[in-house]
Amino acid sequence: HGIFAVYSMREVYEFNQFWAIGSGRDYAVGAMWAAWPQLEGAAEIAQLGVQAGCEFDVGTSLPMTLFTTRLATE
pLDDT at site 70? 84
Distance CA 74, CA 68 (A): 19
Domain boundaries, the chain: 20-74
Distance CA 8, CA 63 (A): 29
Q: Which residues touch 37 (CB under 8 Å, ≥6 apart)?
A: none
Distance CA 60, CA 56 (A): 8
Residue 22 — left, alpha, or beta (φ > 0 → left; ψ -120 to 50 → alpha)? left
pLDDT at site 74? 64
Choice between 18 and 49, residue whose per-residue pLDDT is larger = 49
Residues 19-70: pLDDT tens digits? 898 999 999 999 999 998 898 888 899 999 999 999 999 999 999 999 988 8
pLDDT at site 69? 85
Name the H helices within the chain.
25-35, 42-56
